[in-house]
Structure 1
Amino acid sequence: MTTILYVITGFLLLLSYVKDKKNTKTALKKAWKAFENILPEFMTVLIFAGILLGILSPETISRYIGESSGFFGTLLTALIGAITLIPGFIAFPMAALLLKEGAGYMQIGAFISTLMMVGVITIIVEIRYFGKKVTFLRNGLAFLLSFLIAFILGGVMKL
């Protein structure tokens, strides 16, 4: 599947280049600049994830956030996701690594959904723009919704 996406992307890039060389070159330069800006952040998280996976054995990961960890593992990953500020393009590959090392789908679902929807670290900025009531309501509902998402994901992946 990945190869098919690369072939389609290459074909579309070639088509774009044939249609408008200048705009395609400009777009590729902007994309490269964005990649350069993201790279230090991405490498830091990859190094952190590598060290973490080197320290924690698959058995430890499975015990604390594996399928058998149940609600405790789901709560743990939801809390970690809520207080962590990691962009999605880094979080998803890290989640895949954790799944490969023994984490459960429900637990990773809680981690990813709280990571994307709950903003404990950004709460001060959010309060400034939306007020305390809206901020706490939004974050609280997002945290609760993350559990629903996790349970649905855990159930679907068992099918």
Structure 2
Amino acid sequence: MDPIQVLGLKDRRREVQVKDENTAGQLLVKNTHAEERYVRGMSKTAKRHYINRKDCPVKNHFLGLPKWSREDAVKAFDTYLWSQHQKDAIEKPLKDWFNARVKELMAGHNLDLIDDIDFVKGNDDSHGFTLKNYIEYLAKEIY
């Protein structure tokens, strides 16, 4: 499964991420505190990041504009982020946030990008999918 998942407040991480197909001799552990299952030595408990809190640098500022649907706001954020990337004009707090997520991903952590809606059903529900794509893009660029 994807190491980066976009979730709502009530969603749960799907599947167990196993990096190698041969898991003979590995111990499957259920972490009762985080309510997650993972293979010891293969993957780590997911780091959760709330992406639409007011103090988060990657908050979608297009949400809540008059006469804008959530889908319009998500599309506007996607366009904004990639245009800023092309101009190399991404603000420092935003750049620092993305660099920290890339480091976590490269260190083998799973990332949960949690939006402030109950459930994320598709790509138009959350700007987290744009963030996920951008983090993966940066990770490939570095690697």
Report the TM-score when normalising by structure 2: 0.35
Q: Whose RCO is larger (CA < 8 A, sep 6+)?
A: 2
Report the TM-score when normalising by structure 1: 0.33
